[in-house]
Amino acid sequence: MKILVTGANGYLGHGIVKTILDAGIEVIANDFRVDSIDKRAKIIAGNIFEVENPYDYFEQPDILLHLAWRDGFVHYSNAHINDLPNHFIFIKRMVESGCKQIAVMGSMHEIGFFEGSINENTPCRPTTPYGIGKNALRDLTQMLCKQNTTIFQWLRGYYIVGNSEYGSSIFSKITSAVKDGKTEFPFTLGQNQYDFIDYPDFCKQVAAVVCQKQEQGIFNICSGRPEKLADRVERFIKENNYNIKLQYGAFPDRPYDSKAIWGDSTKIEKVLNNKK
């Protein structure tokens, strides 16, 4: 088994690549920069959108794990729409050249404003360019895979805690503030409830999905339970022994954030249990 991982140097990529390699599976890793990628992988730097025949260029991988995506933490960035045709063309070239399994990183922001537990049949009504771009790519990838009898796996990611020196999440921002010597951090009231998953568990779930073929479709990469943002952030501060306090109410909640939203973990738990 040979897996091509795009975006391999990113916040998600380098942990996922390591987890797959630890399972004894060959990885071809691609990104613009490659300094954080596990050296056990075969590393090929460059722009995937500029490769005319990526399937042959990346040595005919059995599986594509497409993590590459710009400005994932900037939900209103124009890149989410501007890059969409390039993502589609890249995946189309991989599918039509013979790659038999396509797994792509999605986001719970595809759903839009929703309260409750999300499963693979929950309707999507995204409200930001990020959610709209991911939702469109999911529909297009599913169409391509259906047309070519290719295995389709969509990895709908939730809120990740950990690996905080990288990324731009609130946990990363708190880590950065502590390193800068700050003792207070401006915060919302923190009453909204989200599905938080620790970084190692996230990587483990992604690797488990792509390294099997039986379960297909949409997977929630999640913990399966809601937790108040304030509770998880306070716990994060305590876990890391940070000397910093939250300034509650300094910022309003984002208007497009749900009050309580979490993933149904039934399908991913089935995959994990089958690997035991």
Strand locations in the chain (E): 2-6, 26-31, 42-45, 63-66, 101-107, 116-118, 151-157, 159-161, 184-186, 193-194, 196-198, 217-221, 227-228, 245-247, 261-263
Q: How many CB atoms lie within 10 A of CB 172?
A: 18
Tell me the C-alpha distance between 135 and 51, whole Å.
24
Residue 170 CA: distances (Å) to CA of 16, 179, 213, 268: 21, 14, 34, 26
Q: Please name every residue paired with 261 in a beta bridge, in sequence order, or none if there are none.
A: 116
- Encoded tokens for 22: 């630890």
256 among known catalytic residues: no
Run of H or E residues at 90: helix 84-97
Q: Which of 11, 130, 158, 194 is catalytic?
A: 130
- Residue from 116, 25, 122, 17 nearest 67 by CA: 17
Give me the active site residues, please.
130
